[in-house]
Chains A and B, each alone.
Chain A
Amino acid sequence: MLLRSVYFALRRMLRGYIGFVILILLPLAIITVNGFAIGDEFVDEYGRTGMEMISIGIIIGFQLVGGFYTMETIKGDLFSENRWRLRSLPYPIYIHAISIVISSVLFNILNGTIMVLFTYWVYGVNWGNIGWAVLVLMFVSIVSQLVFLIAVTVIKKYKIAELIGYAYLFLFMILSGYLFIPIPDIVLIDWINRYINPLTLGETAIIYRMQGLETSEMYLSMGMLIVLSIILTVLIVLLGRRRLT
């Protein structure tokens, strides 16, 4: 039943051309403009070119944006008038919610993979191991989908849940330094970026692999993404039970 539900949810997402525009064309446009604006001479502290730095940051950043897909679909299916039809089915509602999260992750992996391959072939971005990069993107996406699922499930007012989604997105983007806002050098922010921020965790896991740096740091970041996924899953089971059963 879950597989069938995932199949149809994914089919619905693949039909929405706006999703492709927002999650593929828009980030590719940003990468192209900013990558060329920074130029080939720029090399950051990890030895990445400007195009590599922008590509990695934007592609991971848009995995976070993908959480809005889960949020919108959950709202449309389970918290609008459609909920009565779905609740009348011999089918637990949480299965439908899980199928939406899984299909959103798959949809994001597809978009992420297309962008990784595009930047690799067209702009020569060195991703190190592309399979590893896609795996990292998948866990960033899972964390993001679960954060948005918790927001839309626990908070009754959709507008507030949406605001929390934006806050999550922009907060972590700012802390990662991607919005060019100066970040004070304080321990708490370093700690958040090392253990919680999915953007910096994903970035570290990819950069350390592509540049052949310390594997312990790479595995720590990946491990933290997995731990965050588990914690968020436990939270959704505890907090979302009332609205998803």
Chain B
Amino acid sequence: MIIAYMNDIVKRYGSFRALDHVNLEVEKGEILGLLGPNGAGKTTLIHALAGLIKVDSGDISLFGKKLNDHIMEIKQQIGLVTQDITIFDDLTARENLEFFGGIYGLRGAELKQRVDETLAFVRLTDRAKNLPAKFSGGMKRRLNIACALVHRPKLLIMDEPTVGIDLQSRNYILESVRELQKQGTTILYTTHYMEEVQSLASKIVIMDQGHVIAKGTLEELVENIQHEEKIHLEVIDEPTSETLEELRSLNGVKQVIHNKKKIQIISSGGAENVDNVLAVVKKAGGVRSVTAEKPTLEDVFLTLTGKTLRDGEEE
């Protein structure tokens, strides 16, 4: 079931098109990973989806309703974890949650219960009465997430929620995201950390220059790129020129590089040459070790955008 739908969205800032005919669907219960280099349009897309900015053309629907016609009703069911920490420094952790929970219409015992549960979920119960000014970066990030969770949103939009925090807090946040998905929350997650998307997302969308340039599962994305295949070998006897020539003649092999007993073979995408290569080198004395590099999400990204993901780390 699709709960969020963007059709042919265009958003311009002057002559610059931040979103250029973007289509996106988010299915209920999934974690959708959104990747893109600096200026790709990820944050604009999130802001458009959450109703924070008006788009120039196209349709946005959430929970089966048009965003423009039911904006307050839809906002009631969304939680936004902003890229920057957007909590009130002069309210305690509990008061922050009480403020945001109150805006979402929670009152009395229900509000207190939700605040207690949310503080426990982000492990800030013992710091509930403290002002965030005394918190570490990781604790502030957790409170930032808690403020978007207190009303139990159906769709949680997380804009780079782990930027600038220690490994422990980051792992904790990733665990929390998985837990939220188990509880039935649908999550749209943007990050520059490839490993986060690989470990969390059930579907990945890659954006560049305002366009969605690829979407699918990790396996589908990898399959769709024609990426080189690399095989690294360590052989028992140093290869002869005949062995090297035989390797070069294999189907799809583009390059064979050797350094004493180490050989690297680069084949075109889809050649699946491991068996053939092993057959040749076994004949020539045997193999000590073999590794084959499969294309990764990083390769997919690089192939599609011509940039590494880290290029856009500051976004």
Residues of A in contact with B (beta carbons under 8 Å apart): 1, 4-5, 8, 11-12, 15-16, 81-82, 84-91
Instruction: Give the size category of B's interface with A.
Output: 20 to 34
Tell me if B91 and A85 are in contact (CB < 8 A).
Answer: no
CB contacts under 8 Å to A, within B49-99, are 50-52, 72-73, 75-76, 78-80, 82-84, 86, 88, 90-91, 95, 98-99
Query: Please, which residues of chain A bring their CB within 8 A of the CB of B50?
Result: 88
Tell me if A91 and B103 are in contact (CB < 8 A).
Answer: yes
Q: Smallest distance from the beta carbon of B93 to chain A beta carbons, Å? A: 14
- Per the bound structure, the CA–CA distance linking A87 and B53 in Å amounts to 9
Residues of B in contact with A (beta carbons under 8 Å apart): 47, 50-52, 72-73, 75-76, 78-80, 82-84, 86, 88, 90-91, 95, 98-100, 102-105, 131, 147-148
Tell me if A90 and B86 are in contact (CB < 8 A).
Answer: no
Tell me if A88 and B102 are in contact (CB < 8 A).
Answer: no
The 6 closest A-B pairs by CB, nearest first: A85-B86, A88-B80, A81-B84, A90-B75, A12-B90, A90-B76
A-B contact count (CB 8 A): 60
Tell me if B76 and A84 are in contact (CB < 8 A).
Answer: no
Tell me if A11 and B95 are in contact (CB < 8 A).
Answer: yes
Tell me if B52 and A87 are in contact (CB < 8 A).
Answer: yes
Q: Smallest distance from the beta carbon of A6 to chain B beta carbons, Å? A: 12
Q: B144: nearest residue on chain A (CB-CB)?
A: A85
Given known contacts A82-B86, A84-B80, A11 and B91 CB-to-CB distance under 8 angstroms? yes
- Per the bound structure, the CA–CA distance linking A81 and B160 in Å amounts to 14
Q: Smallest distance from the beta carbon of B195 to chain A beta carbons, Å? A: 26
Quick one: which of A4, A15, A16, A84 contacts B102, CB cutoff 8 A? A4
Residue pairs across A and B with Cβ atoms less than 8 A apart, 22 shown, are: A1-B102, A4-B99, A4-B103, A8-B98, A8-B99, A11-B95, A15-B90, A15-B131, A84-B47, A85-B82, A85-B148, A87-B51, A87-B52, A88-B52, A88-B78, A88-B82, A89-B75, A90-B73, A90-B103, A90-B104, A90-B105, A91-B103
Q: Smallest distance from the beta carbon of B155 to chain A beta carbons, Å? A: 11
Q: Smallest distance from the beta carbon of B26 to chain A beta carbons, Å? A: 16
Query: Please, which residues of chain A bring their CB within 8 A of the CB of B147?
Result: 85
Q: Smallest distance from the beta carbon of B60 to chain A beta carbons, Å? A: 14
Quick one: which of B52, B73, B75 contacts A84, CB cutoff 8 A? B52
Q: Smallest distance from the beta carbon of B256 to chain A beta carbons, Å? A: 53
